[in-house]
Amino acid sequence: MRVETNVVYGMYSGLALLLDVHHPDQPNGYGLIHISGSGWSAPLGLDARPLKESGHVQIEGQPLVEAGYTLFTINHRATPRFHYPAPVEDAQRAVRYVRYHAGRYGIDPDRIGAIGGSSGGHLVSMLGVLDGRGDPEDESPINRLSARVQCVVARAAPSSFVAEWGSVGAPSMLLGAVVSPDADPGSIEYRRALEASPIAHVTPGAPPFYLVHGEADDVVPIAHSEAMAEALGSAGVPVEFRRVPGIGHGPGLLADPALRAEVQAWFDEHLQGT
């Protein structure tokens, strides 16, 4: 396996947006966008470890690279310095970049999947449910392409920022605003929270979703995945929801070989069509 590091997939006011490409020894011709979690608490230090080098990559992404998938793991603008919609915009740019350069990476540009957990799970969910259509008049040929992915695996992913969040409360750092349970639906804060919620964008055109969530998760309540699974199913979208008893938050959820096998099988079936 070969890792191509620090590929610039976009620029923001002179700052490079970076991704790493994990090339499998025996590529199957399909690519996956991977987004690590903890993006809502990115350290401010200049020597901080990049998000794309998180341990999540080894747990969530490495098994898929070994199975032949080309993995693109990304950095994005993150809190506390940046707020919604910056991370979503960066994730979409990454998909467009990978799609534009599909020939270089030896992958099918029309069959790109995404996997992520926690805050990364939120972003890959948005890549699935948002229309993501490109702007045909944009000066960049990359931005003219679609940012929508064709298959999603989301671990412990927030699905709504207007839903109940328990003791931790909705992540105001991401939204750049405090959203209370009794917020006025007409307020800027509420409308921003709704716009940032994957569940608010579910349509019959969404790609297949595999949702996995620990029943003991005290960071993102499992009700988020329950509601998302119901919304996807009601829209006629293929969805698999795996509840994991006794497990809390964190990437260790996918350390279970059985769950890893299910994730790979989901991509094999719904991305490759095998």
Number of domains forming the structure of the chain: 1
Sheet with strand 15-23: strands edge to edge = 2-12, 15-23, 70-74, 31-35, 112-117, 151-155, 209-214, 239-244
- Reading the chain (274 residues) residue by residue, the pLDDT tens digits are 899 999 999 999 999 999 999 999 999 999 999 999 986 888 889 999 999 999 999 999 999 999 999 999 999 999 989 999 999 999 999 999 999 999 999 999 999 999 999 999 999 999 999 999 999 999 999 999 999 999 999 999 999 998 877 545 568 889 998 887 778 899 999 999 999 999 999 999 999 999 999 999 988 999 999 999 999 999 999 999 999 999 999 888 888 899 999 999 999 999 998 6
Angle between the 86-100 and 119-129 helix axes, to the nearest 10 degrees? 60
Does the global pTM surpass 0.85? yes
Domain extent at residue 153: 2-272
Both tokens of 71, joined, read 């993995």
CA distance 125 to 197: 9
Nearest 10 degrees: Cα torsion 187, 166, 121, 267: -120
Which CATH number fits the domain that encloses residue 255? 3.40.50.1820
